[in-house]
Amino acid sequence: MNILELRDVSYTYNRGTPFEELALDSVSVGFEKGKITGIIGHTGSGKSTLTHLLNGLEKPSSGDVLLCGESIWEEPKKIAQIRFRIGLVMQYPEYQLFDETVRADIGFGPRNMGLDEDEIARRVDEAARFAGIAPELMDKSPFDLSGGQKRRAAIAGVLAMRPEILVLDEPAAGLDPRGRTEILGGLRDYQRSRNATILLVSHSMEDMARYCDNIVVMNQGRIYVTGTVSEVFARSEELQSVGLNVPEIARIANGLIRRGIPLSGDLYTVEGVRRAILSYVKGECEC
Amino acid sequence: MLKDITFGQYFPGQSLLHRLDPRTKILLSLIFIVILFVAKTPIAFLLMILLTAVFVEMSKIPFGTIFKGIRAVLILLLFTAAINLFLTKGQGTPLLEFWVIKIYAEGIWRAVIMAVRVVLLILISGLFLTYTTTPIALTDGIESLLSPLKKIRIPVHEFAMMITIALRFIPTLIEETDRVISAQKARGADFSSGGLIKRARALIPILVPLLVSSIKHAEDLATAMECRCYRGGDGRTRMVKLTYRTRDFLMLLFVLAIGASVFVLNHYIPILLPDLYYF
Ligand SMILES: Nc1ncnc2c1ncn2[C@@H]1O[C@H](COP(=O)(O)OP(=O)(O)OP(=O)(O)O)[C@@H](O)[C@H]1O
Ligand SMILES: [Mg+2]
């Protein structure tokens, strides 16, 4: 079932000025409940714009954003309520930190929700755990943290609101491989423990293959391809034509298929391809 | 949102006005202002109105955009016109008289002239200095025009550099403000309800990150400039050199000729209102 859906949404920046820019062009797409959906696309393809629309930060120029089948702009006064349900971590979220301590900063969202102090403290600790923030950092000033730690604090600030849908715009961009796995792994833990829905914008096909269930490919303000991870990666030529690379291993698997070796299964992780090749080789021997 | 404010109102284009040297445009505006205040005869004003119309047409900038600038001062304009209309004492008999208000022919003339002056002033300076000139080109022009002042040790270059940097960072700051507001809104921040104190407190989550990033920008910029051995204006060459071209001279000549004819008109055509300047 689609918990969140865009219906024929267009968005134009600087409308009515000479700097007009059509960032989204009649986009229709749905996001499945309880799944991690990756959003990928070339730079400037409209991914960040899409995330702002999903969270109600920006109102579509035309079209509708539906949460559980109802337009989020039905009652514009209630948009703040919607924002608590759909958490958004913006691209490079470090700059949003402002409070005296990391703990207070993570508590900003829950405090705005009007929760009591016990509940806030509980949520802050839980969010810090998912985001991988060491307890001794919690009482430091957020401005004394390293870049990667700031990123985690900013992500925790959104997790602490316990949104049922979490939209992240390149949460792992510019981090080292270990930082990436820790943050993305933490997000997956959050998704499993709360049965949340996650939309993950990323440039990394490897990350997509590892963490996502579905993929939406965007190109120049339009949806280019959508489907499950294996469906999308099976179309590597089309992806390459819009400047995206599929993971190396998926390219190898696709190459083998083209040369007449019928592989099946998860053909986008090393493990999956290894299993597929092994079972193919075994099958070959038996007959 | 904030970004919808198109900064500086510069309107990209390729018209003659766009291609003039910024120094020419500054000089033209100054000459124009002088002419406007020297002119005394109706013909001169008609000439100026015609000239302005030609410039507006030439610039290819939509009418609506240009007149937005006037709408901002409309109240002031009406107010001055009213004062001129009601308070000017003429020599003849009043044209209109009721209660304490007496309206003379001179009053009408003066109100109209003041209004025309202010409107033309705004139109011309807006057209030359903001709509067809980027802020950066404008500061370059100012620096170049003021450079003789360096002889008496006025730090013209540093001054222009400061303005350029400030202008350069306005869009960045607007963009960052937009982003911070969005990020805090996404965390449920509420900027539009509650009393004065609550609203002021709600600004903290926006102001702190902006202040931090401004200081960081300043530091980064200072480092970047030092890395490239910036040592102030002495001996510094430019990537974009300002050069006067034929069109600049022709334009200056043209407007100066208009100015001269306005001056001549003042002497040969009966002036309607000799004391136009008590204001
Ligand atoms: N504030 C803005 N004003 C005007 N145009 C904008 C603005 N933000 C984005 N755009 C334009 O909208 C288009 C989509 O931008 P968007 O930021 O959504 O891309 P993106 O897919 O997130 O790119 P990236 O991978 O680089 O983050 C781009 O062409 C961009 O120039
Ligand atoms: Mg982006």
pLDDT single digits (tens) B142-193: 889 988 988 898 888 888 888 888 878 888 888 899 999 999 999 988 887 7
Tell if the CB–CB gap between A57 and B182 is shorter than 8 Å.
Answer: yes
Read off the DSSP letter of residue A100.
Answer: S
Which residues have CB less than 5 Å away from ligand 2 (the ion)?
A: A 48, 91
**Mean pLDDT score, B188-214:** 88
Placement of tokens 């302005």 in the chain? B52
Among A112-126, B2-16, B258-272, the minimum mean pLDDT is found in B2-16
Top residue of B1, B177, B182, B187 to mutate, by most chain A CBs within 10 Å, is: B187
Distance (Å, whole) CA A155 – CA A109: 11
Backbone angles phi, psi at A87, to 5 degrees: -80, 140
Alpha-carbon distances of B72 from A178, B67, B122, B136, rounded to whole Å: 56, 9, 10, 24
Residue bearing the bigger pLDDT, B105 or B221: B221
**Highest mean pLDDT pick, A271-280, B46-55, B80-89, B93-102:** B46-55
Tell if the CB–CB gap between A95 and B209 is shorter than 8 Å.
Answer: yes
Give the gap in angstroms from C-alpha A242 to the nearest C-alpha of chain B: 28
Residues with CB under 6 A from ligand 1: A 13-14, 21, 23, 41, 43-49, 91; B 3
pLDDT surpassing 70 at residue A131: yes
Give the closest residue to A187 by CA, choosing from A201, A176, A174, A204.
Answer: A201
Percent of all residues in chain B with a pLDDT value above 90, rounded to a whole number = 27
Task: Considering only the beta carbons, identify the residue of B182, B188, B212 that sits closest to A84.
Answer: B188
Q: Which band of pLDDT confidence, cut at 50, 70 and 90, is reported for residue B6?
A: very low
pLDDT surpassing 90 at residue B39: no
Residue A88: strand pairing partners: A167
Residue with CA at minimum distance from ligand 1 atom 25: A43
Residue B96: strand pairing partners: B103
Element holding B103 (H helix, E strand): strand B101-103
Orientation of helix A117-131 relative to helix A147-159, angle to 10°: 130
Say if pTM beats, i.e. exceeds, 0.90: no
Strand locations in chain A (E): 2-13, 21-32, 36-41, 62-67, 70-71, 86-89, 165-169, 197-201, 214-219, 222-228
Q: How far is the CA of A22 from the centre of ligand 1 (A)?
A: 10
**Mean pLDDT score, B15-20:** 90
Residue bearing the bigger pLDDT, B71 or A125: A125
pLDDT surpassing 80 at residue A285: no
Say what the pLDDT of residue A122 is.
Answer: 95
**Mean pLDDT score, A99-114:** 93
Say what the pLDDT of residue B273 is.
Answer: 54
Q: Which band of pLDDT confidence, cut at 50, 70 and 90, is reported for residue B2?
A: very low
**Highest mean pLDDT pick, A112-121, A238-247, B256-265:** A112-121
Say what the pLDDT of residue B61 is.
Answer: 86
Tell if the CB–CB gap between A18 and B186 is shorter than 8 Å.
Answer: no
User: Ligand 1, closest atom to CA A19?
Assistant: 4
Say what the pLDDT of residue A248 is.
Answer: 81
Give the gap in angstroms from C-alpha A283 to the nearest C-alpha of chain B: 54
Give the closest residue to A153 by CA, choosing from A121, A129, A174, A184.
Answer: A129
Give the closest residue to B27 by CA, choosing from B264, B259, B277.
Answer: B259
Chain Cα centroid distance, residue A73: 22
Give the closest residue to A66 by CA, choosing from A43, A47, A86, A93.
Answer: A86
Distance (Å, whole) CA A268 – CA A206: 8
Residue bearing the bigger pLDDT, A1 or A146: A146
Tell if the CB–CB gap between A96 and B208 is shorter than 8 Å.
Answer: no
pLDDT surpassing 60 at residue A287: no
**Mean pLDDT score, A212-218:** 93
- The encoded tokens of residue A35 equal 């799944």
Contact A89, A161 (CB under 8 A): no
pLDDT surpassing 90 at residue B234: no
